[in-house]
Structure 1
């Protein structure tokens, strides 16, 4: 299931896209907004897979907003102006839909989500550089990752590996289908989570704190 947002200042355009999303069982609408500014709160609280984003809007152009969203969130531009196509693809958009948008063209665009998801899921290993050593680690063996100043520590089945990198940069490389940021200092393997007690995540006997800013995302993603 791919979580999506619709952002378009035209009500009829939003309604059309909403009707298309409802027809597909692999899409889940988490918000439909008239302005990109209204969508910012949702993006902070939830991990969104794709945004259907109009380009020409009064408050903030879609091409400018696309530069502000998380790197793992895909963008499908929607616009009535074909001259924006090149700019859209320069921003690494998943697709570019020219209005009026037919369902067939919409379906072709969102089908690309399945292709990119499959490619990510095939990445079963990660290579971790620790000092002069390289470690090839199965993603499924990672319990959680902790930030330690300019380093991160990978916890794997009772052992740990320290690597010189930031949690923020690492977050962009890990598949969001498997891992979730729950605190400024922690990323967890979703499959290893066994419970939520107050503001703490449980990984069996391990306790991981959850920041207030990530709490709603943790509840919606894991429970």
Structure 2
């Protein structure tokens, strides 16, 4: 099941997309918005797989909003203007749907989600984290970053924080280096969550993570 949200300032466009989503049992509509800024909290607090995003909107263009979306959340642009197609694909959009959108074209776009899931099985892998007397099973793809706190580490996901009695150094040796990267003595990040590097800070969506001087060159090499 892929969780999705719709962002479009036109009510009829939102209704049409909702109708299409409801036809498919592998899509779940979490929310629908007429303003991209209202969708920020949903993206921050939920694991959203895909956003159907209009481009030409009054307050903020979809192409600008797409830059704020975590890289693990796929974007399918929806617009009446074909001249935005190149810009959409420059932003690594999963697809670009030109209005009026037919169901056949919509289905072709969302089927790419299933293809990606099959080709990226690591997203479904998980680790078991011991926290006190409790055991937590965390999907690797749900972990945004891991933070050191004295003799503990804290796993940060979209929905929870899990504290475990171990060191970041020991944990680093067990994590998949293809997915996780140490960027600071106190932080390990999920590479797929990184959106940009500004000075000595990594942005993971709306989250800022400091980058140590000793890790800076490696961060640039592996992530940019």
TM exceeds 0.5? yes
The DSSP-based 3-state class of the residue aligned with 1:97 is strand
Q: For 2:55 and 2:127, how far apart are their aligned partners in 1?
A: 42
The residue that corresponds to 1:22 in the other structure is 22
1:1-223 → structure 2 map (5 Å cutoff): 1-121=1-121, 140=126, 143=129, 146-148=146-148, 152-153=168-169, 155=171, 164-165=182-183, 167=187, 169-170=189-190, 172=192
Query: Which runs of 5 or more structure 2 residues have no equivalent in the other structure?
Result: 130-137, 139-144, 150-166, 176-180, 195-207, 210-224
* Equivalenced residues, count: 159
- d(CA) in 2 for partners of 1:154 and 1:30? 38
Q: TM-score if structure 2 supplies the norm length?
A: 0.62
Q: Secondary structure at the match of 2:29?
A: strand
Change (3 A) 1:147 1:107: same
Counterpart-to-counterpart distance in 2, 1:72 and 1:64: 17
Structure 1 residues not aligned, in runs of 5+: 125-138, 175-183, 186-223
Partner of 2:25, secondary structure, is: coil
In 1, Cα distance between the equivalents of 2:28 and 2:57?
A: 24
After superposition, the Cα gap between the structure-2 partners of 1:57 and 1:164, relative to the gap in structure 1 and judged at 3 Å, is closer
Computed over aligned residues only, the root mean square deviation of the Cα atoms, in angstroms, reads: 3.2
Aligned equivalents of 1:141, 1:33: Cα separation in 2: 34
User: CA contact under 8 A between 1:146 and 1:153: conserved in structure 2?
Assistant: no
TM-score when normalising by structure 1: 0.62
1:7–1:109 distance in 2 versus 1, CA, 3 Å: same
Q: How far apart, in 1, do the equivalents of 2:13 and 2:193 lie?
A: 34
